[in-house]
Amino acid sequence: MDPLYFWINIVIITFGEMMELTVIIFLTTEFRKKHSDLQKAFYYVLYAIYVFDSFSSIPRFVMRVLGQQIGNPVVATCQVIMWYYYYTPGICEFVLALNRCTGIAFPTIHHQFWTGARLKCVLLLIVAFPLLVSGYTLSNFHCRMYPFDSICAKYTNIYVLTVIFINTGLSVSALLVIILGILRASKVVTITKNSVIAQLERKMVVYQTISTTLLTLRYICSLLSYFHKSYAELFDTIGLAFYYLQHYLPIMLLPILNSTYRNKFMKFLGCRKGVIHVASTMT
């Protein structure tokens, strides 16, 4: 790898991980409070995304240091953790899109569904999803721990395709759900269109549309890279750019688009003394 390209990657990843860790600490403090406007389904799922991603960065770093060592238990543990993580982006994005869809298009159902036991079931589904769709692959534990072993070529080929197709399918479905929500919302009159809450809801749809679109483009590039080997390097580079954008751009966009989140986050950072409270019905 070109040294300049390597260090650009290191700088982006380091900066991005610091942002993610800051948001994780911030949301943790909000969730530990007796009451907070951020104790809503949207932020719980967002929190899960950041925790998954930050946790997975450790085995990714370890793998860069140790390399593909067959028989090394540390490498085996890293591979199992990475396997679990690779199945989470699509389902998390789909749940967030569904949350925004119901928020703008089905407000009554929204408030009933994204609370209590139903919310706990959704969060449990996210955590269990990798096991539900790919848990059976653990039966071949050697290839699960060392997918780069030459005897695991067929196993790894199926594994890679499954990850790509599942995440692509879920991200495309998430986009369709958002479109459905936008079309349905135009026919539903529930909140004054110029109210603060209505404006906030529309901005959050914009946020989710950007995030979901970037994730979709990322996995489409992975799909093209797999089936067009001669252009694999090109598609992998474009896909990596979408990966960085999808991971870190939404972190910066959220405080810009969401005033409730911004006020609390700025207070957490100690950047503002006066905080304007804006009520939010988002869950």
What pLDDT does residue 185 have?
79
What's this model's pTM, rounded to 2 decimal places?
0.88
Inter-residue long-range contacts of 76-82, CB under 8 Å, 24+ positions, other chains counted: 76/145, 76/146, 77/145, 79/144, 79/145, 79/146, 79/147, 80/144, 80/145, 81/55, 81/56, 82/56
What pLDDT does 134 receive?
Answer: 92
HSE on the CB side for 5, CA within 13 Å?
A: 5
Q: Average pLDDT across each block of 10 residues of the chain; the chain has 283 residues. List them in order.
A: 70 85 95 92 93 88 87 93 94 94 86 91 95 90 93 92 95 94 73 58 88 94 92 92 90 91 91 51 54
The one-character DSSP state at 191 is: S
Q: In this predicted structure, what is the pLDDT of residue 65?
A: 84
Domain with residues 3-269, CATH architecture: Up-down Bundle (1.20)
**What is the SS3 assignment for 154?**
helix
Distance in angstroms between the alpha carbons of the first and the last residue of the chain: 44
Q: How far apart are CA 262 and CA 271, in angstroms?
A: 11
Chain center to CA of 125: 15
Domain boundaries, the chain: 3-269
